[in-house]
Structure 1
Amino acid sequence: MLAAKDVLAALLGQALPFLPGVVGVDVGFRQDGVELTDEVVIRVLVTDENNVPSQLESLTADTPFPVAVVQRDFTPLADDAPYDPVIGGGTVKAEHGGFLSPGGTLGGIANDALFGGQVGVSCAHVIASITEPVNILQGDPIYQPSLNRKIGRLYRWQDATDTAVFKFDDGIAFDWAIAEIGAYSGMARAKLGDSVQKRGKTTLRTTGRVSAVGLQPLGIGTPPNSFEIYTDDVANQPIFVERGDSGSLVVNLFGQVVGILTQKGIEYSSIATIGAPPPGAISGFATQMMTEGAVAGAADSVGISF
């Protein structure tokens, strides 16, 4: 099914100029309203399910597996308490050229596999800037939670996986833990149906299950081979992510890091219209932490391990 997904993605990619609103293809669970079913389908992701290009039906007709169209919104999540020692799950910000970034989440602590020691981890779009060359940004100050507390300097980042690391300043204490989650160790790939959790600065600890894998983005900057996490308790925890949660490490039930949260999936209010739905997204997308085939994982892309 993943191979068929790649074939369909290549076909849609060629026709992309004639497919407004089509943003990706992956393999995941079919959605029924706000609930996920157990049926696995190839999903074509669109920005507005009420305005699906008419050509899409004919382009998917020869796909040998069921195809479903789902609405998703790939908006970067970049939105406060100080943590001493520094741990994952809290606010982190960067200063570039005298301007303080909006901020996001400090995912946690990792081993620097290139030069030794430990580094802090977040998203590139949170603490780095893809519009500036490396020699301008490298060494820029990192704060937790804001300007009154500098904790390190920007070290390395990779736009392709939206991952960045920073070096801690001398004297800054840190613990290998994530708020509300605790200790973590090792890495694994996220697989369809896995139960996972994250702790972000905005929505704090939320839980979900992997609802799709092998994302092939079309015409957008989302990292390839990302996976989606859908809230696992729609009734009691409808919101999985909100702005500011970018950079959160995604951890499985074995305490292994499986990804880094980069973007939201779909606003709860867009599929639950009765009453006054709370603001936020019912799902989010994360970059796989481990490499598979020719697609680099977040850890390999910036030279870290857990």
Structure 2
Amino acid sequence: MDVSPEMLAAKDALATLLRQALPFLPGVAGVDIGFRQDGVELTDEVAIRVLVTDGDNVPSQLDALTADTPFPVTVVQRDFTPLADDTTYDPVIGGGTVKAEHGGFLSAGGTLGGIANDAMFGGRVGVSCAHVIASSTESVNIAQGDPIYQPGLNRKIGRLHRWQDATDTAVFTFDDAIAIDGAIADIGAYSGMSRAALGDAVRKRGKRTLLTTGRVSAVGLQPLGIGTPPNSFEIYTDDVVNQPIFAESGDSGSLIVNLFDQVVGILTQKGIEYSKIVTIGTPPPGAIFGFATQMMTEGSVTGAADSVGINF
């Protein structure tokens, strides 16, 4: 069955509109054209379909956002189960797995947050956490030039360049043959930096929990007896019902991006496990919030970008 060009254009226009509002549309997973569903049965009526992950919790804003679409619009529930993203990205982009090798030992890996400008030597560098690509559980030396892989030993993409434990930030250079793209999977392009402020809506894309959204719930952390970088900020999931998990082990290194597509921080640690707050049923694994290092310097506290000589 052919679909008219007008309907395809209307679907694309709606997708563009929803994409712009996506941080405020929890559970909205896509837009397509297909048969309207009646219970478990498909009808013969063709409609523009908004796909959601939970049909019992459809964002109320959808009615207003779809009101001007010149074709029937229906909402259908679909299950998009997040999996660990060990995809080989070519060109390399942010949001996927990155690993390092130190003294013959391969790290467990974390997330390649994205690609930054090297303000010290020029060129482009990959960004992640120091504890992801510049540390090891083994008694080996961590050295400049240690190989970096994406997603694993089958594909070397660069070498460790410099890092700062105080901000838990590290960068690596890319091998000459490796193509790179200054984007983050599921987020897209980003440019510039800003400081995270209380109440800011933000998002991240990690290798474990993929795209999640949240709101800055605390700033100016002064750590006491722990290794968390000073002046870190907390990000709390913005929809406990539909998206209770903001981060999980392996998401470290994800860049935190605000509504203006500016980089505001780098995710360094997860917060309390959701299962420790909600004990009814079988809560999903992972943390309801995370902590991130501020990307920009303020006063005497050095931000992640300045600590390793980068900008976006």
Question: What is the TM-score normalised by the length of structure 1?
Answer: 0.73
Residue 130 and residue 297 in structure 1: after superposition, are their counterparts in 2 closer, same or farther (change >3 A)? farther
Q: How does 1:162-241 map to 2 (within 5 A)?
A: 162-241=168-247
Structure 1 SS opposite 2:127: strand
Structure 1 SS opposite 2:296: coil
- For 1:267 and 1:147, the matched residues in 2 are separated by 31
- For 1:226 and 1:300, the matched residues in 2 are separated by 15
- For 1:305 and 1:133, the matched residues in 2 are separated by 33
Q: Rg larger in 1 or in 2?
A: 2
Deviation of the 1:265 alpha carbon: 1.0
- For 2:223 and 2:138, the matched residues in 1 are separated by 24
| Paired letter, 2:182 | W
Structure 2 SS opposite 1:176: strand
Alignment check: 8 A CA contact 1:229 1:283 kept: yes
Match of 1:265 among 244, 264, 271: 271
- For 1:180 and 1:133, the matched residues in 2 are separated by 37
Structure 2 SS opposite 1:299: helix
Other-structure match for 1:46: none
Match of 1:94 among 100, 121, 133: 100
Match of 2:121 among 96, 115, 131: 115
Residue 84 and residue 262 in structure 1: after superposition, are their counterparts in 2 closer, same or farther (change >3 A)? same
- For 1:129 and 1:153, the matched residues in 2 are separated by 14
| Paired letter, 2:204 | K
Deviation of the 1:131 alpha carbon: 8.5
Higher RCO, 1 or 2 (CA under 8 Å, sep at least 6)?
Answer: 1
Q: Deviations over 1:257-300 (max 9, x none)?
A: 00000001111001111111000000000000000000000000
How many residue pairs get matched? Answer: 228
Q: Deviations over 1:83-135 (max 9, x none)?
A: 00000000000000000000000000000000000000000000002799998
Alignment gaps of 5+ in structure 1:
1-78
Deviation of the 1:137 alpha carbon: 1.2
| Paired letter, 2:121 | F
Alignment check: 8 A CA contact 1:129 1:137 kept: no
Please state which structure has a larger fraction of its residues in strand.
1
Question: What is the TM-score normalised by the length of structure 2?
Answer: 0.71
Alignment check: 8 A CA contact 1:130 1:159 kept: no
Match of 1:153 among 152, 159, 165: 159
| Paired letter, 1:142 | I
- For 2:291 and 2:91, the matched residues in 1 are separated by 29
Once superposed, what is the RMSD of the aligned Cα atoms?
1.7
Other-structure match for 1:285: 291
Deviation of the 1:160 alpha carbon: 0.1
Alignment check: 8 A CA contact 2:103 2:140 kept: no
- For 1:168 and 1:138, the matched residues in 2 are separated by 13
